[in-house]
Amino acid sequence: MKKIILSICFLFGALTFVTAQQGQGGGKAAERMAQMKQRLKDEVKLTDVQIDSVMAINQVYQPKQREIRMDQSMSDTDKQTKMKAMNDERAKRIEAAIGKEASAKVQEFNAKQRGAGGGGNRPQGQGNN
């Protein structure tokens, strides 16, 4: 009887742990993505198709940019150079997908986001804590 109760307690604890771990990151990322879509619709006035194109292109570049930011072997100057080249490439793809005028609005929106605490104007030497 003790073994059965102990097994049930163990299973309950493991299930609680797994459920808590799954809920930590996935919901936040989906919530941020939904908020970004809504802001692109409300502030930039993009259509749903344009928003989907921008989001798909951004999702291709996000892991690459994260990899550059996390690379300890690269100097800050090298990181900035690679990030600029990647941002230019992404901007060209967005322009090809949604047009020059809408792309310009997206670039302006992104610049405003970086200036408002999106990570662009950090004092030198400080990373994401």
The reported pLDDT for the residue numbered 125 is: 46
What pTM does this model have? 0.63
Amino acid 3: pLDDT: 66
Contact 55, 98 (CB under 8 A): no
Please identify which residue in the block is written with the tokens 């006035």.
45
- Residue 115's pLDDT is what? 76
Q: Which residues are within 8 A (CB) of 68 and not within 5 positions of it... i.e. 6 or more apart?
A: 74, 79, 82, 83, 86
Q: What is the DSSP letter of 99?
A: -
What pLDDT score was predicted for residue 129?
42
Q: Helical H runs in 43-128? A: 48-70, 76-98, 100-113
pLDDT at 7: 55
CB atoms near residue 49 (< 10 Å):
10
**What pLDDT score was predicted for residue 126?**
45
Q: How many CB atoms lie within 10 A of CB 53?
A: 19
Q: Return averaged pLDDT per consecutive 10 residues of the chain, 129 residues in all.
A: 62 54 62 88 90 90 89 90 91 92 90 66 44
Distance CA 79, CA 71 (A): 8
What was the pLDDT predicted at 30? 83
76-112 core/surface letters (b: 16 or more CB in 10 A; e: else): eeeeeebeeeeeeebbebbbebbeeebbebbeebbee
